């Protein structure tokens, strides 16, 4: 548990997870793992943002949530293409 004085450093945590995920993998496998991760993260973000946007309609922070939905949708589209290319590098279908 963290206190307000020392919030979690999500960048450091993400970097550590990415390092763990790709450690020892050949470049093709690392590329696939990272593209799958980015796609799944984008999908999770989109689900959260859509839910919050729907709940906050009319509230002052609604436009930010709505914009986040659009950004997450773009992320999903781009990461889907990247994931498919990563799969081709490994000879997998997906």
pLDDT in tens, 15-39: 999 999 999 999 999 999 999 999 9
Other C-beta atoms closer than 10 Å to the C-beta of 30 total 17
Say how far apart CA 94 and CA 74 lie, in whole Å: 20
- Per residue in 48-69, pLDDT (tens digit) is 999 999 999 999 999 999 999 9
**If phi over 0 gives left and psi between -120 and 50 gives alpha, with beta otherwise, what is residue 21?**
alpha
Q: Which helix (H) or strand (E) holds 59?
A: none
Q: pTM for this one?
A: 0.87
């Amino acid at each position: 548990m963290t206190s307000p004085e020392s919030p979690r450093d999500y960048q450091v945590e993400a970097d550590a997870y990415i390092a763990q995920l790709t450690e020892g993998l050949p470049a093709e496998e690392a590329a696939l793992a990272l593209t799958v991760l980015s796609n799944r993260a984008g999908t999770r973000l989109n689900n959260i943002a859509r839910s919050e946007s729907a709940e906050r309609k009319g509230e002052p922070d609604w436009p930010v949530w709505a914009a986040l939905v659009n950004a997450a949708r773009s992320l999903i589209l781009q990461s889907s293409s990247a994931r498919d290319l990563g799969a081709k590098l490994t000879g997998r279908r997906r």
